Chain A
Amino acid sequence: MKLLKQFLLIMLVTCIGEIIRYIVPLPIPASIYGLVLMFILLYTKVIKLDQVKTAAQFLIEIMPVMFIPAAVGLMNSWSALQPIIIPALVTIIACNIIVMVVTGEVAQIIIRKDSRKGEKA
């Protein structure tokens, strides 16, 4: 029964996310509303961590395989992609590396600065 309740709570919050998505005319998907709502419910202790933890861990652990069908579906967009494949790949790969390094560097510099300040104080 423990897992049934956990699964119910996760699906319920997901469903409320869909309802918010239905009502609010913003380009934000149901999953993001659901994530934020679940976080608020945990933070306000309406839902306790051990009421959802095991089922959530299961879903997160198998999450990578959930991307396989969408990625395999790229075979259907091949004709649209083919004419611009080289510029597209160059843009995607370069942008990806640059954004990863810039974001990480900025975060790391601020964190190290703050922790040094913290030690002095």
Chain B
Amino acid sequence: MNEFFAGSTTIGVVISLAFYYFGIFLKNKFKSSLINPLLISIVLTLCFLLVFRIDYESYNVSGRYLSYLLTPATVSLAIPLYMEIERMKKNIKAIIISIFVGSVTSMTVILLFAFLFHFDHAQYVTFLPKSITTAIGMSISEELGGIVPITVAAIIVTGIFGNISAEGVLKAAKIEDPIAKGLAIGTSAHAIGTAKAMEIGEVEGAMSSLSIVTAGIITVVLANVWAMFL
């Protein structure tokens, strides 16, 4: 089985898509927003690999073709963003201030938890860029002397948690404005959160896409300052 996976160019894509589709099926069947197709597909794919003793490397021989599409898909986020340009112009003040405050909050909360858990400097800077998109976060962590594989893991877990919790958290906090919802999701959970924002609505998706870019750039600049605090 491991050998077949290592030689196949499709099987990893097929099982990932099939488990995701199964997640959508469950979600529609039970009509519950607690059922998250992304989480279901990740867990089932993991279980599948463990049960059949397939190495991650063998799965990724074909699975990587899904990852490959991520760069053009991110570029494509410019399209819904452009379609909402009037709303963007009208709310530019709210957009810039909230993403700035959100990015600063993210790094400050990590600083507080770093004190609480007695993280050393390397561990602290490893988590510092965890709310932004993977490629930017990785380079920040590397530059500041963090542990890059853990940064990547933290970024992915952040995104998945944000994707799963977004609807519940925003509802509980009574954040109802679609622009505010999109900004909140994109600033806290980058591209994986944006995938959820796109499902919620066009305005949410566009604002979330905008937050990936803006929060990423703000964090690149400010992480160097926050890195000096511990």
Which residue on B lies nearest to A113, using beta carbons? B94
Which residue of the partner chain, among B59, B71, B91, B140, contacts A34 with CB atoms under 8 Å?
B71
Within the assembled complex, what's the spacing in Å between the Cα atoms of A97 and B106?
A: 10
Among B3-11, B26-34, B150-158, the stretch that binds chain A is: B150-158
Which residue on B lies nearest to A67, using beta carbons? B192
For B34-78 the 0/1 string (1 means CB < 8 A from A) is: 000110011001100110000010011001101101111111111
Say whether B101 faces chain A, with CB atoms less than 8 Å apart: yes
Q: Do A29 and B75 have beta carbons less than 8 Å apart?
A: no
With both chains docked as a complex, state the minimum distance between the C-beta of A58 and any C-beta of chain B, in angstroms: 9
Say whether A43 faces chain B, with CB atoms less than 8 Å apart: yes
Which residue on B lies nearest to A102, using beta carbons? B105
Q: Do A101 and B173 have beta carbons less than 8 Å apart?
A: yes
Q: Which residues of A contact B185 (CB under 8 A)?
A: 100
Instruction: Give the most central of A59, A75, A91: most B CB within 10 Å.
Output: A91
Q: Do B150 and A35 have beta carbons less than 8 Å apart?
A: no
Given known contacts A60-B80, A65-B66, A90-B113, A35 and B192 CB-to-CB distance under 8 angstroms: no
Which residue of the partner chain, among A55, A67, A90, A111, contacts B91 with CB atoms under 8 Å?
A111
For A27-65 the 0/1 string (1 means CB < 8 A from B) is: 111111011111100110000010011011101111111
Q: Do B94 and A107 have beta carbons less than 8 Å apart?
A: yes
With both chains docked as a complex, state the minimum distance between the C-beta of A113 and any C-beta of chain B, in angstroms: 9
Which residue on A lies nearest to B181, using beta carbons? A104
Given known contacts A74-B156, A105-B175, A84 and B123 CB-to-CB distance under 8 angstroms: yes
Q: Do B154 and A92 have beta carbons less than 8 Å apart?
A: yes
Closest 6 A/B residue pairs (Cβ): A29-B135, A27-B139, A104-B184, A103-B102, A38-B78, A56-B76
- The 18 listed contacts between A and B (C-beta, < 8 Å) are A10-B76, A32-B212, A49-B82, A67-B156, A68-B45, A80-B153, A87-B117, A88-B127, A92-B157, A95-B130, A96-B188, A96-B189, A100-B166, A104-B170, A107-B97, A107-B180, A110-B93, A110-B97
